[in-house]
Amino acid sequence: MKKKTKCYIYTRVSTAIQVDGYSLDAQKDKLRKYAEFQDMEIVGEYSDEGHSGKNIKGRQKFMRMYSALYSLCRIMV
């Protein structure tokens, strides 16, 4: 049996107005379906609402995901 590739899901919208216009739930749904189609295992889901994508400042969930990935990479080396 082939070992599944692990992945993380990260969703974001830039402004509070976009939270309603570009549903984070819809983004998550599409990403979950993609992961299932690619036979990937989702090991974490993160979401930042109303934060710009211009940089990572203020994107707390992104930083948590980054830390999780960084820790995982250190373990694997």
pTM over 0.75: no
Helix (H) or strand (E) holding 75: helix 60-76
Mean pLDDT of 7-26: 74
Instruction: Tell me the pLDDT tens digit for each residue of 36-70.
Output: 999 999 999 988 876 666 667 777 888 888 888 88
Q: If phi over 0 gives left and psi between -120 and 50 gives alpha, with beta otherwise, what is residue 25? A: alpha
Contact 55, 16 (CB under 8 A): no
Domain count, the chain: 1
Q: Is the pLDDT score of 77 beyond 60?
A: no
Domain that holds residue 53: 5-76
Contact 41, 7 (CB under 8 A): yes
What's the CATH number where 36 sits? 3.40.50.1390
